[in-house]
A and B are shown apart, each in its own frame.
Chain A
Amino acid sequence: MSDTERTGAAGVLTSLHGWGRTAPSTARVLTPRSAAEVAAAVAAAGPRGIIARGLGRSYGDPAQNAGGTVLDMTGLATIHEIDAERGRAVVDAGVSLDSLMRAALPHGLWLPVLPGTRQVTVGGAIGADIHGKAHHVVGSFGNHVESLDLVTADGRVRTLTPDGEDAELFWATVAGMGLTGVITRATLRLHHVETAYFTVDTEQIDNLDELMARQTEGDERYAESVSWFDAVTTGKHFGRGLLTRANHATLAELPLKLRADPLRFDAPQLLTVPDIFPPGMLNRVTGKLFSELWYRKSPTRFGAIQNITQFLHPLDVAGEWNRGYGPRGFLQYQFVVPPERGDVIRTVLERMTAAGQVSALNVLKRFGEGSRAPLSFPRPGWTLCVDIPIGAGVGPLCDELDGIVLDAGGRHYLAKESRTTAAAIRRGYPRLDEWRKVRDAVDPAGVFTSDMARRLQLHG
């Protein structure tokens, strides 16, 4: 974004896309340095509106705004305060979870909700109400926000709290995909930890049914739980995978050599993936190879000590890994279905396999209780997340999967969503109208908008 810095307040026309590298559009990008500059940009927004953008990790189009303005929030990235005693952090919206973790860990503080990458901003984490492997215990990101500052369409900066006067607007902003205003600052509640390590139990399980049964059993004993499985292996080993569950390691559990520096943040980025891959890199052969390696790398083992990268963010060692899917990009299909509809997981995977999709790495988790936010994605049940490279037939296949998911009472995750219909979102989110009412009241002219909002008709 160095171009933006050079051109200053006028912004620069930039083609933007999401992490899936699909459906680009062009917008004027501004990089505000203060809440006042955000308010000025909001006031100056033209007829095609304005939206905030963080680190661009949403897969689809929620952080792009064709013909309008996009605020690059990474210019607002100060960590104002970390209160070790009370476990609080006051940060700007553009602070990444990575830099917050690096600053908080030396104080023995841990972010309770960490998604599959730390390269997301606090503002984005609130706007999408992200979740992590600890969801069954701690819920989603919005549950840990004590207050947030929101620049609304009228140019005011409002401080919102979950139970205060503006509680409705607070919860419409959590998971509100940036459509209520621009979050500029937040106070977050952090957890106290003794070490930066996990004690990890890994179980190799050789079919999907058993994997799901095992995961249903003991999750309450663990702070973190997720399984990875492949859908390349067919027959009775269909859905074989790894169930990994963990708790934060106490000081006493660490081996001696790690005790010297128990809060060390061990998160190397080993490489940046170059932009050289042709479409179709992921095929039956490479998919099979990858799933084999992934499965074999982790035999069943209990009580292993792992650092944050090993356990939480294995993909963060490779920067820009989305380039591996080639120029046509990919989509991530993530949905949740009620606990009694675990059968949908198998149905969806079988449909994908039958359609010739190679899904080498699928992430499965059981969610705990949902949030108060009307558009929050998590709800009790199973959530599955699969990567699908863009190619012939992918559109109709996903439309078919939508039907299966929605018929089971499920829904899609807006932070991953890039191709469904307005009707599908309406069906999946029965509280959409409740959210819209709050949104329309605070932004009657529809100043805040995005490609996603237009595509899915999120606002009226």
Chain B
Amino acid sequence: MESDVLVVDDSAAIRKILQRVLRQTGMAIGNIFEAGDGQEALLVLNSQKISLVLSDINMPKMDGIQLLAAIKGAPAWHGIPVVMVTTEGGEAKVGEAVRLGAAGYVRKPFTADQIKEKLAGFLPGAMPS
């Protein structure tokens, strides 16, 4: 069974790179949806059955921490793993993400293997290199 994934980043370049990396993982991924900020992500979550969210932190309108809090605070979405993929590496932001229930944290710049390794276990067919 294929799982749908949501990639949230205000950079179209990063969304494209993550799409490519996700397709290369060998995981059973169906659709990959994109959002440019937290607000757009909530619209996607409201209309699609998403199994995994990869999200940046620093974004306009609604940042990744606010999005994470919204997902973890909603009974319908609470169980969706959210992996933060971000330049932000400060202890305060990482700690807040962990406290809110982030399933993982990948710091940019990242390699494809780092993404694969972090996603192992969240999606069927995940095979870390």
Do chains A and B interact in one complex? no
Instruction: List B residues at the A interface (Cβ < 8 Å).
Output: none
